[in-house]
Structure 1
Amino acid sequence: MADMLHNAICAMSLEEEEPLTLPDRPRFRVIDENERSLLGRLLNPDCQSMAKMIEYLPTAWRVYGRVWGIALSRDRFQFVFQREEDLQTMLQDRPWSYNHWTMMLERWTTNPPEGFLQSMSLWIRIRNIPPIFYTAETMYKLASEVGKVEEINYDPKISQTKEYIRAMITFDVANPVKATRKLNVPSGGTVTIEFEYEKIHRRCFHCLRLTHEKIRCPLLRRGHGNDRRVIHDRFLTYSNAM
């Protein structure tokens, strides 16, 4: 009888159960604290220890004792702040990294929009633009090659002292961080426009995505299998790390 009951329980599908509804009472929900919190995502959890990150960041942020972290999953987490000004400072200084790999932070919301923690705002630097193309429209067009443009830091009536143009974009982390783009010039031929990403430290050196190292790149695994070139690259990676 016991075996029959055990088998019947194992055969039950979770879909047969009605979803659990918790009582609509304050003690079952966290509202006030969540309103002063950030939700985050580790982009490369293979190289980012969740436990060590939660212990380290309050000290790095200089808010130790005024914030506490919660591990929600292998790559998702929450930081709850005591003071609103601390939370605002963390948001303004994004993007943040841990162990040299990028992590995403957004303010907590009761109804996260589609694509929540999938894209982030960051500054890029656009280099090697020919003088004939120095217009705000050109800067916008070039920045849009990387992401959705939010701001172009360029005024044609003000001296330009840097050898690059800054632009703020919304970047989808599922995409590669494009390093260059060929641009045709009126005199014939092309120039290579270069893109630099501020506060982005590590990326895959094969597909240029922010979510893994080259040694774990799914494109290399799918495209080359046990190719000797992949093995050679892995050997060099380990040799350089020693």
Structure 2
Amino acid sequence: MDDMMTRVAAHFALTNEEQAELVEQHEVKNLLTSKFLLVGKLLTRKPYNKEAFKRTMASLWRLTAQVHIIDMEEDKFVFSFQTKATRDTIMRGRTWTFNHSLLIMAAANRLLDPLIIPLRNQEFWVQVKGLPLVFMTRAMEKLIGDALGTYVVTDQSRRGECLSIYLCIRVLLDVGRPLRRWLAVRLPNASGMVEWVQL
């Protein structure tokens, strides 16, 4: 939309009045919204009922946060919260879906237009199964997380060594790429064997 407006504007000469800039002397904080915003998009090519989507998400989040949902262009939505804590709780919560389609979200920097925030990179919890127990360490979690995308954090509910049937790590992934199902890990042991771990 911005590119199209720029191309259209290039065909017109601006008057002196149109070229005049608004110079605001107030402190920036007085011009910004007091709300805490998320911008989101439903990853689907199928048509869906936007009003039903807004009602469903508001209902799902009602116990955690009061939210106001605004329908924007290009199938994007802005979710407005009263506090940063409630916004962060929703953003860091479980994976949100509607009609089996993934809702991707990003925190809107209040100094930027929320419609231009990139939504491709999203955080997900990833379970890694198939590693030998002796390699279930936090160092291995970071190594695998960075191989998949960008490592964010380890499951904080675990204490000490990560001895379990799987590792659980939060990773920043590019949702424009297919999700990987397997990862080949060459273990630094005497045999140098490769373990295929399931994601």
Tell whether the 8 Å contact from 1:42 to 1:48 is kept in structure 2 after alignment. Answer: no
Tell whether the 8 Å contact from 1:38 to 1:106 is kept in structure 2 after alignment. Answer: yes
Instruction: Give ranges in structure 1 of 5+ residues lacking alignment.
Output: 1-11, 196-242
1:200-211 residue pairs with structure 2 within 5 A? none
Pick closer, same or farther for the CA change 1:14–1:158 going to 2, 3 Å: closer
Q: Distance in 2 between matches of 1:90 and 1:18?
A: 46
Structure 2 residue 198 is matched with structure 1 residue 194: yes
Q: Distance in 2 between matches of 1:158 and 1:137?
A: 10
Q: Distance in 2 between matches of 1:24 and 1:105?
A: 33
- Normalized against structure 2, the TM-score is what? 0.70
Q: Distance in 1 between matches of 2:197 and 2:162?
A: 21
Q: Quick check: which one's strand share is greater?
A: 2
The one-character-per-residue Cα deviations of 1:24-59 (angstroms, maximum 9, x if unpaired) are 789xxx8325x3222111122426543321122111
Q: Which has the larger radius of gyration?
A: 1
Give the CA deviation at 1:63: 6.0
Instruction: Give ranges in structure 2 of 5+ residues lacking alignment.
Output: 1-6
Q: Distance in 2 between matches of 1:38 and 1:129?
A: 36
Q: Distance in 2 between matches of 1:158 and 1:189?
A: 23
The one-character-per-residue Cα deviations of 1:105-137 (angstroms, maximum 9, x if unpaired) are 222222269862221112111110024534433
Q: Distance in 2 between matches of 1:84 and 1:17?
A: 43
- Normalized against structure 1, the TM-score is what? 0.59
Tell whether the 8 Å contact from 2:121 to 2:172 is kept in structure 1 after alignment. Answer: yes
Q: Root-mean-square deviation (CA), in Å?
A: 3.7
Pick closer, same or farther for the CA change 1:188–1:108 going to 2, 3 Å: closer
* Structure 2 match to 1:15: 10
* Structure 2 match to 1:150: 152
Tell whether the 8 Å contact from 2:65 to 2:86 is kept in structure 1 after alignment. Answer: no
Tell whether the 8 Å contact from 2:137 to 2:162 is kept in structure 1 after alignment. Answer: no
Tell whether the 8 Å contact from 2:127 to 2:167 is kept in structure 1 after alignment. Answer: yes
What is the percent sequence identity of the aligned residues? 17
Pick closer, same or farther for the CA change 1:108–1:138 going to 2, 3 Å: closer
Give the CA deviation at 1:159: 6.6
Structure 2 residue 107 is matched with structure 1 residue 107: yes
Give the CA deviation at 1:15: 2.4
